[in-house]
């Protein structure tokens, strides 16, 4: 099996760096990463999917890594993000693809069939489940829920503030995010993330005693080098489009996801505490399956690659 290759693809007014593996003509699988990650986050899935007979495309999404970083905040809205993926399909001559997303990549994957219903075969979401459109602008709802307490998405809204804090020491930021974003028995650490006060996001994360056993220093250094070079403004701009995305999804070409859909999540993923799964059926009308991986945290496909690969390949096998 040839090794994955990297190339640049012009799509939807931006240039995306794409990791590609597998033979053209095979069923296409697009992998969309989350925050603060890269196509590199799928390094354990790309060769496994290619070996199973799929043509894999894993982009650094706009704002990240080797891809374009538009300056305008509204350039990171969900219409543009899903259109980027459609352009990748055009580039390889594929009518349809399976979309698999993690974290922020999950909304890209689960919104794609709403905007491009004729171009998707199936969807898999990791860590963030498919959710229906909110009843009001999301930031208004979060302000009502959290009041004067800290909530990281609201903290990310003000341009420049989180950008400076996260970029001040990318090694510290990424070390704390990789090692500190999970549910633990540390009640004080959990409370600190929603307590009032002037501290920012990174300062509230615990400093890990050591790296998790699923990531090496060399692997972490890859992220550190990229985010030291690019900064965090592009990725943070994704968060600054929550209300704009709410407006843009009031009416979509397809009202629901009617293709087979898989949701995979770790039971120690803190995202589950504020992203409930009880309304999935409001947005998914096709076949739906959940896989919970006991004890796994947020960086799911890196932390538990074998279990994630098995779940994805079983799901894809059922489509054939």
**Element of type H or E holding 142:** helix 138-146
Q: Is the model more confident about 272 or about 169?
A: 169
User: For residue 300, what is the domain's CATH number?
Assistant: 3.40.50.1820
Kindly report the pTM of this predicted structure: 0.96
Convert the pLDDT of each residue in 236-278 to its tens digit: 999 999 999 999 999 999 999 999 999 999 999 988 888 888 8
Residue 36's pLDDT is 97
pLDDT reported for residue 276: 80
Q: What is the mean pLDDT of the chain?
A: 94
Residue 116's φ and ψ, nearest 5 degrees, are -130, 65
Q: What is the mean pLDDT of residues 108-124?
A: 98
For range 225-233, the mean pLDDT: 98
* Beta strand spans in 12-155 (E): 14-21, 28-32, 55-59, 97-102, 120-126
* Percentage of the residues of the chain whose pLDDT score is greater than 90: 88
- At 191 the pLDDT is 63
Banded model confidence at residue 301, pLDDT cuts 50, 70, 90: very high
42-46, 80-84, 209-213, range with the lowest pLDDT:
209-213
* Annotated catalytic residue, options 60, 84, 103, 163: 103
- Is the pLDDT reported for residue 120 higher than 80? yes
Distance CA 232, CA 113 (A): 28
- Asked if pLDDT for residue 189 goes beyond 70, the answer is no
**Residue 316 pLDDT greater than 80, yes or no:** yes
Check residue 29 and give its pLDDT.
98
Check whether the bond before 36 is cis (ω within 30° of 0). Answer: yes
Q: What pLDDT is recorded for position 53? A: 97
Q: Is residue 280 scored above 90 in pLDDT?
A: yes
Per-residue pLDDT reduced to its tens digit, 125-161: 999 999 999 999 999 999 999 999 999 999 999 999 9
What distance in Å separates the CA atoms of residue 35 and residue 104, rounded to the nearest whole number? 6
pLDDT tens digits for range 200-216 = 999 999 999 899 999 99
Q: Is the per-residue pLDDT at 285 higher than 90? A: yes
Domain that holds residue 126: 5-317
Which of 33, 55, 102, 298 is labelled catalytic?
298
Chain center to CA of 187: 27
Active site residue 103: yes
Residue with tokens 């790309």: 46
Domain count along the chain: 1
279-288 burial, b at 16+ Cβ within 10 Å, e below that, comes to ebeebbeeeb
Does residue 63 register a pLDDT over 90? yes
Give the separation between CA 214 and CA 3, rounded to whole angstroms.
22
pLDDT of residue 274: 80
């Amino acid at each position: 099996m040839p090794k994955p290759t990297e190339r640049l693809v012009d799509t939807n007014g931006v240039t995306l760096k794409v990791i590609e593996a597998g033979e053209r003509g095979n069923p296409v699988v697009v992998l969309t990463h989350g925050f603060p990650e890269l196509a590199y986050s799928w390094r354990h899935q790309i060769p496994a999917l290619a070996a199973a007979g799929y043509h894999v495309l894993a982009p650094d999404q706009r704002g990240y890594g080797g891809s374009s970083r538009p300056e305008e905040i509204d350039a990171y809205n969900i219409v543009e993000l899903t259109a980027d993926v459609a352009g990748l399909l055009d580039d390889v001559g594929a009518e349809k693809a399976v979309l698999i997303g993690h974290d922020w990549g999950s909304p890209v994957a689960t919104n794609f069939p709403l905007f491009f219903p004729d171009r998707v075969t199936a969807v898999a979401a990791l860590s963030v489940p498919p959710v229906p459109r909110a009843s009001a602008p999301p930031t208004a709802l979060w302000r009502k829920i959290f009041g004067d307490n800290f909530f990281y998405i609201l903290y990310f809204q003000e341009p420049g503030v989180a950008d400076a804090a996260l970029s001040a020491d990318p090694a510290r930021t990424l070390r704390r995010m990789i090692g500190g974003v999970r549910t633990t028995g540390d009640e004080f650490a959990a409370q600190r993330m929603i307590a009032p006060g002037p501290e920012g996001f990174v300062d509230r994360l615990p400093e890990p005693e050591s790296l998790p056993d699923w990531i090496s220093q060399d692997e972490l250094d890859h992220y550190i080098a990229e985010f030291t070079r690019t900064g965090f403004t592009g990725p943070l701009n994704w968060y600054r489009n929550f209300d704009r995305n709410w407006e843009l999804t009031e009416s979509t070409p397809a009202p629901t996801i009617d293709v087979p859909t898989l949701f995979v999540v770790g039971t120690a993923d803190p995202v589950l505490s504020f992203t409930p799964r009880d309304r999935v059926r409001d947005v998914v009308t096709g076949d739906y399956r959940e896989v919970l991986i006991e004890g796994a945290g947020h960086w799911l496909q890196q932390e538990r690659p074998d279990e994630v690969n098995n779940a994805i390949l079983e799901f894809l096998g059922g489509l054939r």
